[in-house]
Copies of this chain bind each other. A is one copy, B any other.
Amino acid sequence: MTSNLAIKNNDSLYREYQYCRGVFNSLTQGLSAEDMVVQSMEDASPAKWHLAHTTWFFEEFVLKRYQPDYLPVDPNYRYLFNSYYNSVGERHARPLRGMLTRPGLAEVQAYREAVDADILTLVDQPHPREQGIADTITVGLHHEMQHQELLLTDILHALSINPIKPAMRGELQIPANSPVAPLEFIRFDEGLYDIGANQVGFSFDCEGPRHQCYLQGFCLANRPVSNAEWLEFINDGGYQTANLWLSDGWALCQSEQWTAPLYWQQQDGEWRQFGLHGLRPLDPGAPVCHISYFEADAYAQWAGARLPWEQEWEVAAREQPITGNFQEDNCWRPLAGSGSGLLQLYGDVWEWTRSPYAPYPGFKPSAGAIGEYNGKFMCGQFVLRGGSCVTPIRQIRPSYRNFFYPHQRWQFSGLRLANDI
């Protein structure tokens, strides 16, 4: 699991497409049609909607544009399964995605199959605009992988609301708890660094352009903060101490009555964590997970440290091999890291950085509807780096920028400490 998705010719594109689109089928094992239709909050989407929307992407941006005389599977789908592309027209209101009992799951699966057949036929033949097709399909597959992760985080949220706390499916393997490496800080020098995606392989527009950036010297923790460490924060009154918190974070902490990460609950004095495996005892060495930016920042304050800038993270991470606990491992929960050196930069948990999600110097959005992919979200969100235990590994690069609002907690989000020198 060390290679990134790199699409070089139509033959590999054909196989990549088949592989990537097929992953969804394995992800939804154990889910009923009922599980897949509901929407548990506005931030989340139904699993069926993920299946349909990712298909819509290929129909709208590939088939309708590159296949002559293409007839849509259903003309309503253009409206129903658009997420936020204004240039594709009006769309179904986001908070009502969970009301779409029709088309049913079987129809959506048939939609996937029909579009897949057409795409594979298209890819299999010479085409005067072959490069455009390949480029758009490549974006579509990376988009697909993002939704594969969201499907799991959204299902987790939906199940968490159910008072009977069901596991997503029975057979998920649960590794034994393992010891965690002691916390250390690793030092990096000040200097001018190149930041952002280089031109080799796929990257999203927001990862570039590559540019120079001056960084002061800094230290980075060797691993993410663990559940055991987070318990110390809780027990030291971290959730009751205003001065540790950003002002908006403190207001939210009080109004939402936060006392622990999302999905933690105390039963008979013992902490348990709800996950795709159901409700389980906390694994002390595993990275803390399902925390908001506000909590991450308060913890760093409490620990006498700070969150890293995304550039600092990137400088450290690009020297590391992309290995770790990813979706393909089928574990789907963060695990304790052991060993020496920088650990777990990739996989396990997304790491909140203190960098607001902003354009890099010289950033220009891609042309056309795909230009709505990133730039228009550059306001009010913070960057997370590194991927999680439910992220497809082929999606991850050192330059990959994930982003969420500081109050959001339903992703597999954790933190790694940093410090000035």
A residues with a Cβ closer than 8 A to B are 32-38, 40, 48, 76, 79-80, 84, 86-87, 92, 96, 98-105, 158-159, 161-164, 166, 192, 211-216, 242-243, 245-250, 293-294, 297, 354-356, 358-359, 361-362, 372, 376-380, 406, 420
Contact = CB atoms under 8 A, between A and B. Distances in A.
A36 B359 CA distance: 43
A357 to B, nearest CB: 9
A359 B378 CA distance: 18
Contact of A166 (B102, B158, B250, B377): B102
Given A34-B37, A161-B96, A243-B86, A248 B379 contact: yes
Contacts of A34: 33-34, 36-37, 48, 101-102, 104-105
Count chain B CB atoms within 10 A of each CB in A34, A98, A164, A248 and give the residue with the most. Answer: A34
A36 B212 CA distance: 52
B162 A102 contact: yes
Nearest to A216: B361
Given A34-B36, A40-B99, 13 more contacts: A32-B33, A32-B102, A33-B34, A34-B34, A35-B101, A80-B163, A87-B243, A101-B158, A192-B214, A214-B214, A247-B376, A248-B379, A248-B380
Contacts of A359: 354
A32 B101 contact: yes
Contact of A358 (B99, B215, B356): B356
B216 A420 contact: no
Q: Chain A contact residues: over half helix, strand or loop, or mixed?
A: mixed
B164 A102 contact: yes
A257 to B, nearest CB: 14
A103 B35 CA distance: 10
18 contacts: A32-B33, A33-B33, A34-B34, A37-B101, A38-B98, A76-B164, A101-B158, A101-B159, A102-B166, A212-B214, A212-B216, A246-B376, A246-B377, A250-B376, A355-B358, A356-B358, A362-B420, A380-B380
Contacts of A356: 356, 358
A105 B101 CA distance: 14
Contacts of A377: 246-247
Contact of A38 (B99, B166, B245, B420): B99
A76 B80 CA distance: 36
Contacts of A245: 376
Nearest to A306: B359
B354 A104 contact: no
Contacts of A161: 96, 99
B102 A362 contact: no
Contacts of A32: 33, 101-102, 104
Contacts of A100: 162
Contacts of A33: 32-34
Contacts of A214: 192, 212-214
A128 to B, nearest CB: 28
A401 to B, nearest CB: 14
A417 to B, nearest CB: 15
A241 to B, nearest CB: 9
The 8 closest A-B pairs by CB, nearest first: A356-B356, A86-B242, A34-B101, A214-B214, A34-B37, A35-B101, A247-B376, A216-B361
Nearest to A99: B161
A38 B37 contact: yes
A35 B37 CA distance: 9
A76 to B, nearest CB: 5
Contacts of A250: 86, 376
